[in-house]
Structures are given as structure tokens and as C-alpha cells.
Amino acid sequence: REAVYIIVSMYGDENILEELQQLHKIANMTEEKVRLLQSMGRSSNPKLIEKTLNYIFEGDNAEKQDLYMGVAGCAVNCVGRDIVWKYLKKNWIRLVECFGEKNHSLMKFVELCLSDFADENIANEIKLFFDSVNTPIVTRAVKQVVETI
């Protein structure tokens, strides 16, 4: 199923995204919900990736512990990766407030969403951003991401 979800998300339009969201809402099994969350953001259409991010964080659409899985799904291609990075910068304080500054899920956001960049300027930007927001739990993850880039 996951492969089908990914393919339709990659090539689908807004209607397909809405269908995936509906499937996510009615899914009974956690594994199915996670598969759908990870698949929704695989589009290369910036508008659909942004809609996916908004869906993930809106109300109670996704379980708190699964949020990073959906965001990581959005970051798998270069279009999504840039959008996710901008989204994380804009909403980092909100994420810290949502999870708590000592929650390991924050590390997952950093590790899974930022490690595939291949630009030294982005690496410096990531380092500077996380130095400025002072979230100690992600210090090691940020260092690893910057080294990977």
C-alpha cells in the first residue's frame, strides 16, 4: 500500500491529496495512518507540500508522536526539503512548546528533515538558526546534520 500511496502522491493533484487525507482520517490502524502521513508530502508541487504540512499540524489530524514522520515524508525531495526547512524555522518555537524542550521528537525533526541537504550554505544556516533558538536537546542532532551536509 505504501508504494501506491507514494506514487499517487508524487503524481497526483489536490484532489488526490484530499483523498489521502480522508483515508488518513478514517484509518483504524496506527501503521496505516503513519504510511499515509509519510506518503502525503511526496509531491514535487510546493502548494501540495505546504497543504500537507498544514494538515499534519492542524488540530488533531495526526498523533503528536507521528508528526515528524509526516514532515519527514515532505522532506524526501529537494522541493519539499526547502519547504520543510522554511516551515521548521518559522514554527520551531511552536514545536518546542508543543513537545516540550526536552522531547526526543525534536531531534527526529532535525535528523529526518534536514540531513539530506548538500549545500554548505544551508549547513551554516542550520547551525546559526539552532544556535539562536537554544534548544539543547537537538544540539547533537544539529551537529550530526551539519557534518553530514
Looking up residue 16, the CATH number of its domain turns out to be: 1.25.50.20
Give the whole-angstrom CA distance, residue 90 versus residue 144. 22
For 108, the grid coordinates are 527526529
| Domain coverage including residue 73 | 2-148
Residue type for position 122: I
For 60, the grid coordinates are 488533531
Give the whole-angstrom CA distance, residue 140 versus residue 111. 10
As for how many domains the chain has, the answer is 1
Q: Among all chains, which residue has been given the C-alpha cell 498523533?
A: 63
For 41, the grid coordinates are 508530502
pLDDT in tens, 41-89: 999 999 999 999 999 998 889 998 899 999 999 999 999 999 999 999 9
Would you list the DSSP string of 84-121? HHHHHHHHHHHHHHHH-TT-THHHHHHHHHHTT---HH
Q: Is the pLDDT reported for residue 134 higher than 90?
A: no
Q: How confident is the model at residue 92 (pLDDT cuts 50, 70, 90)?
A: very high
Give the whole-angstrom CA distance, residue 113 versus residue 8. 22
